């Protein structure tokens, strides 16, 4: 495609395509092939012959009219044997692949290569949540367990899950947020730090009947006999 190509570029292109050679030492050779009004800033529009005129400048025979605004010129590789073509813009757009309506039958199984639509939906969820290999295997294992024991799975939605987490948090020592300010250069930067009060946490452990019996309150010596 060479719309708006300069004269120098076009002549060089045609020269290389045809394999023509110039006689050595003939300084007038270039002048014989160009009119006095042609210069390196000339465009291809300046050298296209009028309709019916003899083609003296090596232009393709398929171009029978001067280029117009928005025309598209297509030039093929010389070895292809295809002549250059000049299209009006709407003609060029109409011959592009996909420009014409084609009756394509609907894909009845767009989830392929997945074996089912549900497999595809699950794979998409795993991809969106950036699960690693272990997390993916754990999720798939839980799904198979839900299938084999449907009565064991009772969660309804995210809201139901959040309420369960909130009820569980009431039974555990809550974390407290403390804002610590640190001087950095000429300003103070605040940092939020979440901590669990040690005394409250110790009391929580002592009130747990499963852990209380594991505590030893008296000092002890432990000996290991190797005899």
Q: pLDDT value at position 27?
A: 44
Report how many domains make up the chain: 2
Segment 145-174 shows an average pLDDT of: 93
CB burial class (10 A; 0-12, 13-18, 19+) of residue 10?
A: buried
Residue 126 belongs to a domain: no
Out of 39, 65, 94, a domain closes at: 94
CB burial class (10 A; 0-12, 13-18, 19+) of residue 144?
A: exposed
pLDDT at 65 over 80: no
Residue of 20 and 126 predicted with greater confidence: 126
Q: pLDDT value at position 154?
A: 95
Out of 31, 60, 94, a domain closes at: 94
Q: pLDDT value at position 63?
A: 53
Out of 59, 94, 129, a domain closes at: 94
Residue 144 belongs to a domain: no
Residue 205 belongs to a domain: yes
Q: pLDDT value at position 59?
A: 40
Q: pLDDT value at position 187?
A: 93
Residue of 16 and 48 predicted with greater confidence: 16
Please give the residue range of the domain that contains residue 193: 176-212
């Amino acid at each position: 495609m060479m719309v708006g190509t300069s004269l120098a570029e076009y002549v060089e292109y045609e020269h290389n395509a045809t394999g023509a050679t110039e006689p050595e030492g003939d300084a007038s050779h270039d002048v014989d092939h160009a009119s006095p009004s042609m210069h390196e800033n000339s465009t291809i529009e300046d050298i296209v012959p009028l309709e019916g005129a003899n083609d003296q400048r090596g232009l393709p025979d398929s171009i029978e009219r001067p280029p117009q605004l928005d025309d598209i010129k297509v030039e093929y590789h010389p070895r292809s044997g295809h002549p250059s073509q000049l299209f009006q813009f709407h003609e060029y757009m109409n011959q592009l692949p996909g420009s014409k309506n084609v009756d394509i039958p609907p894909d009845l199984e767009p989830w392929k290569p997945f074996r089912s639509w549900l497999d595809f939906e699950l794979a998409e969820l795993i991809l969106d949540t950036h699960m690693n290999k272990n997390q993916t295997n754990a999720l798939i294992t839980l799904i198979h367990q839900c299938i084999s024991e449907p009565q064991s799975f009772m969660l309804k939605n995210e809201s139901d899950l959040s309420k369960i987490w909130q009820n569980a948090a009431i039974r555990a020592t809550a974390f407290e947020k403390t804002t610590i300010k640190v001087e950095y250069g000429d300003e103070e930067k605040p940092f939020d730090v979440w901590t669990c009060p040690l005394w409250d946490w110790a009391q929580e452990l002592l009130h747990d009947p499963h852990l209380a019996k594991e505590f030893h309150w008296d000092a002890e010596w432990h000996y290991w006999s190797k005899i």
